[in-house]
Structure 1
Amino acid sequence: MSATMTPKNSERSAPVKHRRPARLKAYSAFRGTMIVLVVLAFLVPLAWMVMASFKTNVDIHDTSKSFLFTPILDNYSHVLGNDNYLGFVWNSFWVAFCSTGISLLIGVPAAYSMSRFNMQKSALLVLLARIIPGVSLLVPWYYVFANLGWVGGYGVLIVSHMFILIPISVYIMMSFFDSMPIELEEASLVDGLTPIGAFLRILLPLSVPGIATAGILSFIFSWNNFMFALVLSGANTKTLPVAVFDFVSYASIDWGAIMAAACIMTLPIIVIALFAQKYIVSGLTAGATKG
């Protein structure tokens, strides 16, 4: 009897086995299609920007020369040679480096304290500072910093960027410290370390991926920030986003120079992201596996 039932059972289970791979194939095709669409959505504008940086303004508006055109370097020579663009590059780097470094010095110990001592109210205040739109603070900031004589200097840009960068650092590092077992600190205290020593010698080296993630994201934000620099910077402290905006005039827009300036501004961020992507992924997902 069992021998006669075996073929029937195998015949009934056969469609189920064939149905499963079909679902997997459909899901794989859907996932691949969505990945391609997302990649194209990000790469097409970037590719258009790079190609436009090697075109004249006439060729940029000529649809027949979207892909077939004679490349020129006049836009890059105009940006790098005639408009003190390298000075603006230095301004952006200095402001981003200082604001990121100071924010990490403040944010990492603050994140450790909030994580280990359950300072939820303090964490809520930091989150509130992150949620507040920066544009709502520009007028009072300008009034205060103008009375202090800071407007137009590097200090006002660094302080204004830190208002956003410190919350970013705190929340990234809080999730990272939450994922670390408390037994590491308890063992170090048994071995004779103080709480500060345990933080500096045990937890801080282990949190390098999180610190790298917070630092990279903070640096990118500061490098790309336009609003604060437009209002608070001066002629000698102008950063790259404001310098790109200078190619827009009342009568005309130099699209070729704008694209060349944008390519120069984007290149360092792309290089940093490519070399540090493993730290970004590990840092952002650090708290996801806790428990």
Structure 2
Amino acid sequence: MGSPPPTPRRRRRRGYSTFRAVALAVIVIVFVAPLLWMLLSSFKTNVDIYDAAKTFTFSPTLSNYGNVLGRDNYFSFVFNSFWVAFCSTGLSLIIGVPAAYSMSRFVMHRSAMVVLLARIIPGVSLLVPWYFIFANLRLVGGFSVLIISHIFVALPLIVYIMMSFFDSLPTELEESAQVDGLTPIGAFTRITLPLSVPGIATSGILAFIFSWNNFMFALVLSGADTKTLPVAIFNFVSYASIDWGGLMAAAVIVTVPIMVIALFTQKYIVSGLTAGATKG
């Protein structure tokens, strides 16, 4: 005896499952294909990169990575990127977390809009006045100007993520702590701040990723001794030709640390971004 024909509800469910699988496959291909092409190209010669027949079948070489890592001061570029990202993220968290707490608890919507305005303004519109001001202060080419410029963009991101997180924390916890004898600052540091670690981790990771990947500010405001990795990749682009193999190898070196950080901290990112979805 044969199985009964599928009901309309089962057919809809099956159609939805098929559509979801196809949509996920398309999204994965769109996002993974450029990364795969970059990784494969980093092991090819320039001749093989231009040859479409050798997209997947080629003789791999490590000469591109040797060329990249063998360049003078390349590891100093890695240190520069890490130092600027670490300092700008740390200072942004020190300023942004208390600011977000104050805006959340005292319902400072107008101040929050001003902070959001700094996030909306395109960074390219700030480069000319920043360069003029910092050049007159003789700061262009130093680490301080890069850190300040990255703070200006990372701080609004941290404030808005933390505001949503603090909104989701019940105020009764702080009130109970104050009844037990803690000051408002003590309740914040001993009760609220430990509970907001997922949000702090999320905003800090995203701010660090932004700073590590930033190209525009470093291109204009950095010097020969403070050049970061995204700007250093430009060394493989010349007027007459482009060293695609070296460029792809350098891009892999820039991308891998961020992918590793995102892989091992994804649970903090997800929990921090979804913490403000519900309140109470």
TM-score bracket relative to the smaller structure: over 0.9
Q: Is structure 2 residue 241 aligned with structure 1 residue 252?
A: yes
Q: Is structure 2 residue 66 aligned with structure 1 residue 65?
A: no
| 1:1-291 matched pairs, under 5 angstroms | 18-290=7-279
What amino acid is the match of 1:23?
A: R
Q: Deviations over 1:148-206 (max 9, x none)?
A: 11000000000000000000000000000000011111110111100000000001100
Q: CA deviation at 1:84?
A: 2.2
Paired residue secondary structure (2:182):
coil
Distance in structure 1 (CA, Å) of the matches to 2:156 and 2:75: 30
**Ranges of 4+ aligned residues in structure 1 off by more than 4 Å:** none
Q: CA deviation at 1:79?
A: 0.5
Q: CA deviation at 1:275?
A: 0.3
Q: CA deviation at 1:290?
A: 1.8
Distance in structure 2 (CA, Å) of the matches to 1:51 and 1:279: 31
Q: CA deviation at 1:118?
A: 0.3
Q: CA deviation at 1:18?
A: 1.6
What amino acid is the match of 1:45?
A: P
List gaps (5 residues or longer) in structure 1: 1-13
Identity %: 72
Q: CA RMSD in A?
A: 1.1
What amino acid is the match of 1:25?
A: R
What amino acid is the match of 1:173?
A: M
Distance in structure 1 (CA, Å) of the matches to 2:50 and 2:181: 70
Distance in structure 2 (CA, Å) of the matches to 1:28 and 1:174: 37
List gaps (5 residues or longer) in structure 2: none
Q: Deviations over 1:88-144 (max 9, x none)?
A: 010000000000000000000000000000001100000000000011010000010
Q: CA deviation at 1:83?
A: 3.8
Paired residue secondary structure (1:67):
coil
Count of matched residue pairs: 277
Specify the alignment match of 1:10 in structure 2: none
What amino acid is the match of 1:165?
A: A
Paired residue secondary structure (2:139):
coil
Paired residue secondary structure (1:285):
helix
Q: CA deviation at 1:245?
A: 1.5
